[in-house]
Amino acid sequence: MPEGDALHRAALRLQPLVGQRLEVESPNPRAQATQVAPRVDGRVLESVEAVGKNLLLHFEGGLVVRSHLRMTGRWRIEPRGKARRGLPWLVLRGETLEGVLWNGPVLTLETRNLRRLGQDVLGEQFDLDGAVARVRGAGELWLGEALQDQRLVAGIGNMWMSEALWSVRTSPWARVRDVDDGVLRDAVDAARRLMRESLASGRQARRVYRRAGRPCRRCGTIVRSRGQGDGNRTAYWCPGCQAGGEPPGE
């Protein structure tokens, strides 16, 4: 799944189009059905930003195109007029470059901002105490689930959740209500730090993610994985060195 850092990279790639009046079209029939392209065709792209897992394209006139990439979506920047096979969701055609969205799958037009999202974990201005307070409010959730709840803090997916909790030696199966403030704070801070490092370096150093069945790099216990929460997103953890809780039924 593209996580917040992937969205930030996409936002950076699209920056050359900012300030240009764009031709916008949706070759893909499913994307055409959204009616997004004709509403912004011919408008100036004023800014592009990643907020959590959403890429927001701000056009003149207060129109905002929201692109959520889910598992499959990808933004590319290509030379204008480049021949391509397949039907992209959105093409933003500038003077010399085109931003191309492949495999949507969520494309909406907004005229209001997304205040219902939590703070972007990668934002320059990040109020760690404020974010911790919001996570704290979800006491019944497992910690791994809460860290991925975009209303609490935006941008963390199951990879960085797993990595952050491994780094602070806490189980994703701890209930938020059972975790003290210091641990909550360390967990959110670890996610932010790891994701910012990844954004800066372009590398994603994995200690536990997708290592189920292999020995923990810290203690040698076999790493486990299991779907968690309403979204059944896979959590990876080491039962040997991550304390605080076990999956239900164990």
Residues within the interface to Zn ion (CB under 5 A): 216, 218-219, 221, 238, 240-241
Nearer to Zn ion by Cβ, of 54 and 171: the residue is 171
* Least Cβ distance, residue 141 to Zn ion (angstroms): 23
* Least Cβ distance, residue 219 to Zn ion (angstroms): 3
* Least Cβ distance, residue 249 to Zn ion (angstroms): 22
Two tokens, residue 109 = 């037009």
* Least Cβ distance, residue 135 to Zn ion (angstroms): 24
Nearer to Zn ion by Cβ, of 34 and 170: the residue is 170
3-class DSSP assignment, residue 55: strand
In sequence order, the 6+-apart residues with CB closer than 8 A to the CB of 150 are 52, 53, 117, 118
With CB atoms as reference, the residue minimizing the distance to Zn ion is: 216
* Least Cβ distance, residue 240 to Zn ion (angstroms): 4
Give the helix ranges, DSSP H, for 91-180: 128-136, 143-147, 158-167
Nearer to Zn ion by Cβ, of 7 and 238: the residue is 238
Nearer to Zn ion by Cβ, of 75 and 173: the residue is 173
Nearer to Zn ion by Cβ, of 28 and 162: the residue is 162
Two tokens, residue 65 = 């195109």
Nearer to Zn ion by Cβ, of 151 and 214: the residue is 214
Nearest by Cα to 90 from 224, 77, 220: 77
In sequence order, the 6+-apart residues with CB closer than 8 A to the CB of 41 are 22, 23, 24, 25
Q: How many residues does the chain have?
A: 250
* Least Cβ distance, residue 159 to Zn ion (angstroms): 18
Q: Classify strands 90-93 and 74-79 as parallel, antiparallel or unpaired.
A: unpaired
3-class DSSP assignment, residue 57: strand
